[in-house]
Structure 1
Amino acid sequence: MDLINLIKKAVIDASTTFRDDQLDAYNRAIESETNDNAKWVLELLLENARIARANKFPLCDDTGIPHVLIEVGNDVQLAGSFFRDINDGICEGLKELPGRPMAVKGNSIERIEQSKGLYESPEKLLSPSFVVDTMNDEGINIHILMLGGGPEIRANTYKVFHKRDHRKVFNEVLTWLRSEITMLGCTPCIPTVGIGRTHFEASSLMLKAMAYGNLNIQSEIETTLTRSMNCSDAGALGIGGSVTALGSFINIGPQRASGVRIVCARPCCCVEPRRSTVHLSSNLLE
């Protein structure tokens, strides 16, 4: 098993290739959009995706920060080099892609101030700490998510007083998203929401929503959120239109006996979620 090359390929695939459900969602959006200018934008975004896939070009100039979600099955023994190989594969993928050089030089203060400039090498862009979880299936899933800066600027993790009514929670989410989405620019979006007991858990659930969300399979709550977003008339790239959101991804985890729910809401941009998954079966791990 050459884990480094598998991860390298996953980084490139996530960064250059629309999933089938994304392609389907764009085609549905083009069919339903009534604003001719917005329809033209949607067609250009779909053409951009076709060119990126054919030539292995990044879908966007902001190639994103690599985030890793690992799920480990029952009785799996991880090799001593497992986590190092994932990091090495990410570095190789960023070099070959190439990723946009965004890593900031310097000590803690200098990095905040960005006073020492940037590294020229894209592989200097380190991934945040991995999120590791268990799963009931055998083997290992390694999800690579490339997260762009625009959605991060418009995202938020915050408390909501639920008042024993789920509609109160989602009305708060919708109010926040609608206030931010017109400033995102890179629409149509996919609102992605994690609801948990702590800020860490809510953010982790939001990442899982991106890893597993399917635009062809939407829950009632996801459909309702999407319809509400599309009433905003923001449209593709904010120029107006009936399609502001292609769909929604929502992941609700365990809750504590409390008057608040912790919500992480992130409006994925028109090329996100950029994701790819490496599945290692049990026989490959032996």
Structure 2
Amino acid sequence: MPINIRDLVKNAVIEASTTFREDQIHAYQKAIQREVNDNARWVLELLLENARIARSNKVPLCDDTGIPHVLVELGPETPFKPDLFHQIEEGVEDGLRKLPGRPMAVCGDDIERIEQSRGLASDPGKVIPPSILVDKMNDKGLKIHVLMLGGGPEIRSHTYRVFHQRDHGNLFKEALTWMRSEIPKLGCTPCIPALGVGRTHFEASSLMLKAMAYSNLHHQSSIEKKITDSLNSTNVGALVLGGSVTALGSMVKIGPQRASGVRIVCMRPCCCVEPRKSSIYISQDVLE
């Protein structure tokens, strides 16, 4: 029986938009136990209950259903049909219509879209993903990662150069300065910051997306733990009400670097319902 990529992607869009992952749920449960501020603890409990209702009723975790982003990974000698990317795009459209997503695609030509002067499309499926990011992987087969990125974190994101001075501590200290400034303005805390460190702005942004796709709050590196601890010491708390839990964890992906005094860092403070993601794996046997 041929694999239906379109249906798989449709279901991935719905799952990413409606479901907390197991590590996310566990992180919230730990945060509730640790939180000393009664108001902030109440917010954490509500966010966990919101996730339970969203999953049970298959409704979005947030009214900002986000912009779909897709990462495709191909194993060595993995065959795929020429219409693979068309199937993925159709699956995203189907998922947004079924969910439904927020109808927020802007109509018009280049200038009209910038000025938002022609109104919005009523069809949620018109919220098309950016260009699909394609990469290789060591495993045989095909992986498709669907991520739904909301607008709040995008407003507070930062991609910039950092002079590392041959000390990784300087790099993360600078990135933490950005986070400490932006996360209180994010509003929708607790957050999970995602960082990509690369040679160019494109590479750093790509690595940030990969950090989101592969993150697991059960397994945090020493750098990720330090970032989380530093943010929790700010006492911003859930919904900026104050408290001991500002960040549930961190996601960091460091790529190849060039001989230079500069590193490019992309920082995105994922909000209290993110990262919203779902991954599909199709084995080589099924594809052949």
Specify the TM-score bucket, using the shorter chain as the normaliser: over 0.9
Work out which of the residue numbers 22, 25, 29 in structure 2 matches 1:23. Answer: 25
User: How far apart, in 1, do the equivalents of 2:201 and 2:34 lie?
Assistant: 37
Stretches of structure 1 lacking an aligned partner (at least 5 in a row): none
1:112 is displaced (CA, Å) by 0.3
Work out which of the residue numbers 87, 90, 94 in structure 2 matches 1:88. Answer: 90
Q: Who is 1:7 aligned against? A: 9
User: How far apart, in 1, do the equivalents of 2:131 and 2:17 lie?
Assistant: 20
Q: Who is 2:111 aligned against? A: 109
TM-score if structure 1 supplies the norm length? 1.00
Work out which of the residue numbers 220, 236, 253 in structure 2 matches 1:218. Answer: 220
Q: Who is 1:283 aligned against? A: 285
Work out which of the residue numbers 110, 135, 138 in structure 2 matches 1:136. Answer: 138
Letter in structure 1 aligned against 2:112: E
User: How far apart, in 1, do the equivalents of 2:127 and 2:253 lie?
Assistant: 28
CA deviations over 1:182-211 (Å, ceiling 9, x no partner)? 000000000110000000000000000000
1:78 is displaced (CA, Å) by 1.5
User: How far apart, in 2, do the equivalents of 1:139 and 1:77 lie?
Assistant: 8
1:88 is displaced (CA, Å) by 0.3
- Superposition pairs for residues 100-179 of structure 1, below 5 Å? 100-179=102-181
Letter in structure 1 aligned against 2:243: G
Letter in structure 1 aligned against 2:183: I
Letter in structure 2 aligned against 1:284: V
1:283 is displaced (CA, Å) by 1.4
1:14 is displaced (CA, Å) by 0.2
CA deviations over 1:143-179 (Å, ceiling 9, x no partner)? 0000000000000110000000101000000000000
Q: Who is 2:71 aligned against? A: 69
In the TM superposition, structure 1's runs of 4+ consecutive aligned residues that sit over 2 Å from their partners are: none
User: How far apart, in 2, do the equivalents of 1:109 and 1:281 lie?
Assistant: 44
User: How far apart, in 2, do the equivalents of 1:66 and 1:283 lie?
Assistant: 28
Letter in structure 1 aligned against 2:68: P
User: How far apart, in 2, do the equivalents of 1:62 and 1:167 lie?
Assistant: 35
1:92 is displaced (CA, Å) by 0.3
Q: Who is 1:185 aligned against? A: 187
Letter in structure 1 aligned against 2:66: G
Q: Who is 2:47 aligned against? A: 45
Alignment coverage as a number of residue pairs: 286
Q: Who is 2:247 aligned against? A: 245
CA deviations over 1:3-32 (Å, ceiling 9, x no partner)? 110000000000000000000000000000
Q: Who is 2:101 aligned against? A: 99
Letter in structure 2 aligned against 1:144: V
How big is the alpha-carbon RMSD for the aligned residues of Structure 1 and Structure 2?
0.4
Q: Is 2:206 aligned against 1:204?
A: yes
User: How far apart, in 2, do the equivalents of 1:133 and 1:209 lie?
Assistant: 14
CA deviations over 1:226-257 (Å, ceiling 9, x no partner)? 00000111100111000000000000000000
SS at 1:34's partner residue?
Answer: coil
User: How far apart, in 1, do the equivalents of 2:93 and 2:193 lie?
Assistant: 29
1:133 is displaced (CA, Å) by 0.3
SS at 1:170's partner residue?
Answer: helix
SS at 2:269's partner residue?
Answer: strand
User: How far apart, in 2, do the equivalents of 1:137 and 1:56 lie?
Assistant: 32
